[in-house]
Amino acid sequence: MSSHREWRVTCRDIAGRRRDLQVIARTGQIVLVAPPGETAILSPLDVGRLRAALRDAVMDAALKPSD
């Protein structure tokens, strides 16, 4: 079982409902999970949060040895 860290960034779908983008840092990988079958609409503040989550995930994934 590989360990990983996760971040969630709030967004809205095309209908305006609140959703989350999920950022996962795994061994040597970054996984971005969008709402299933949805479009993620981000405010400028949410884009900043996504950028920060991606930056943290990259740093976390880089610290782990790759397979």
pLDDT band at 66 (very low <50, low <70, confident <90, very high): low
Give the per-residue pLDDT at 1. 43
DSSP character string of the chain? ----EEEEEEEE-TTS-EEEEEEEEETTEEEEEPPTT---B--HHHHHHHHHHHHHHHHHHHHSPP-
Q: Which of 1-10, 12-21, 37-46, 55-64 has the highest mean pLDDT?
A: 12-21
12-27 mean pLDDT: 88
pLDDT tens digits, one per residue of 31-59: 888 887 777 788 899 899 999 999 999 98
Half-sphere exposure of 62 (CA within 13 A, CB side): 6
Q: What is the pTM of this model?
A: 0.69
What whole-number distance in Å separates Cα of residue 67 and Cα of residue 63? 13
Give the residue extent of every domain in the chain: 5-63
